[in-house]
Amino acid sequence: GAGVSQSPRYKVAKRGQDVALRCDPISGHVSLFWYQQALGQGPEFLTYFQNEAQLDKSGLPSDRFFAERPEGSVSTLKIQRTQQEDSAVYLCASSLIPKGEWNTEAFFGQGTRLTVV
Amino acid sequence: GENVEQHPSTLSVQEGDSAVIKCTYSDSASNYFPWYKQELGKGPQLIIDIRSNVGEKKDQRIAVTLNKTAKHFSLHITETQPEDSAVYFCAPHTGGFKTIFGAGTRLFVKA
């Protein structure tokens, strides 16, 4: 596809359940970002990958959150033992060049809405 | 760290009027200034951006102005249309990996 694809679009999890959210970035894009967006708020940075290297994970809220991008393309965000406060939209974005001194447009997926009940 | 504020949080205009949204940031090293539009159920989409060596950029009905000294940049939408109704976010970039988004401005364009 031409854009960033995220799956599933919607996920309902029981509290304590583990979930995995998938992101397919635009082919050839070096940079990949994960964001968490609470209702009525702006996206909040979770983590950044440059190819397969996770260069910044400072935004991950706790050690229950884990992200990987093993081959430098598809990425998975995993949340263990989900809690109600994890309910949010999780957005993935990709960008053509490495994030650094020269910045450029990030293309966002439609997001995965996670509801923890 | 970077502090980003957007004003107003909500803006209601009549179709055909202009709308202006302001974004204030704290990190003087910021060098890239995009504006994103987010429609319901969709991810943010870039609508216009500007770099630190430029003061103003225009694309049809949309323009962005940058004041690096005062550390703010603004989104200007002229001749607003109902399809402009959405949430708009600023996201000033520094050289680091983390990007801080503003809290968003909800724009309502009344027909």
DSSP letter at B111 equals -
pLDDT at A99: 82
Q: What is the pLDDT of residues B60-89, one digit of tens each?
A: 999 999 999 999 999 999 999 999 999 999
In A, which residues are within 8 Å of B43 by CB distance?
Answer: 4, 91, 93, 108-111
Rounded to the nearest angstrom, the minimum Cα separation between A4 and chain B is 10
List CB contacts of B100: < 8 A, sequence separation 6 or more.
Answer: A45, B1, B2, B3, B4, B91, B92
Contact in structure between B13 and B105 (CB atoms under 8 Å): no
Q: Checking DSSP bridges between strand B32-38 and strand B19-25, what pairing results, if any?
A: unpaired
User: Rounded distance, CA B105 to CA B87, Å?
Assistant: 5
Low-confidence ranges of chain A (pLDDT < 50): none
Mutate to test the interface with A, among B98, B100, B105, B106 (most CBs of A within 10 A): B98
- Residue A44's SS3 state is strand
Do the chains contact at B31 and A103, CB–CB below 8 Å? yes
Nearest to A93 by CA among A23, A10, A28: A23
What mean pLDDT do residues B15-20 have? Answer: 98
Do the chains contact at B46 and A106, CB–CB below 8 Å? yes
What mean pLDDT do residues B88-109 have? Answer: 92
